[in-house]
Amino acid sequence: MEIVKPDQLQELLNSFANKDVYIHLETTNGAYAAHFKEGFFNAGAFIRNVVVKYELGKVAGESPHRVGLKLPSGWIYAQGITHYTVDEHDRLLMAGLDPDGKLAVALEISETPFTY
């Protein structure tokens, strides 16, 4: 993955619009957050291989960026996106990495299902 170039990411988001696509969306503080910092309120969410068709995808703001997908009757968004790549399966993988290189958020878009 490399640091987001907003213009290129915008083009990639456009290329997946109006198609059935598989989504991976994840936010996390890590399973140990409340162990290392007692009282830490640990929250996160994870969905994988949910199929949607978005009509508009946008990258917004300075890094860490926000990425939003407008659906016919709903929304998907992620904030904190710093890195992206298109992998050998033509999947758009976006992630937000903190300064230590720990993933805090991921949003991935693919025309084929992700593995289990």
Partner 1 sequence: MIKEERHVLVIFPHPDDEAFGVSGTISTYIDMGVPVTYACLTLGEMGRNLGNPPFANRETLPQIRKQELKNAAAAMGLTDLRMMGLRDKTIEFEDDEKMIKLVADLIEDTNPSLIITFYPGLSVHPDHDATGRAVVGAVGRMKESERPTLYTIAFANNTAEILGAPDVIHNVEGAAQKKLNTLNAHASQTVWMMRDMEKRLADKDPEALKWLHEEKFFTYRWE
What does the DSSP assignment read for 20-50?
Answer: -EEEEEEE---TTHHHHSTT-----EEEEEE
With binding defined as CB under 8 A, does residue 5 bind partner 1? no
With binding defined as CB under 8 A, does residue 37 bind partner 1? no
Position 55: which residue type?
E
Q: Of residues 5, 14, 46, 60, which one binds partner 1 by CB under 8 A?
A: 46
With binding defined as CB under 8 A, does residue 98 bind partner 1? yes
Separation of alpha carbons 73 and 102, rounded Å: 33
Residues contacting partner 1: total by CB under 8 A: 30
Query: Could you give the C-alpha distances from 7 to 39, 45, 60, in angstroms and in order?
Result: 41, 28, 10
Between residues 56 and 89, which has the closer beta carbon with respect to partner 1? 89
Between residues 11 and 46, which has the closer beta carbon with respect to partner 1? 46
Cis geometry, peptide bond prior to residue 6 (ω within 30 degrees of 0): no
With binding defined as CB under 8 A, does residue 90 bind partner 1? no
With binding defined as CB under 8 A, does residue 114 bind partner 1? yes
Q: End-to-end CA distance of the chain, in Å?
A: 22
Point out which residues bind partner 1 (CB under 8 A). Answer: 1-2, 24, 26, 28, 30-32, 35, 38, 46, 83, 85, 87, 91, 93, 95, 97-104, 106, 108, 114-116
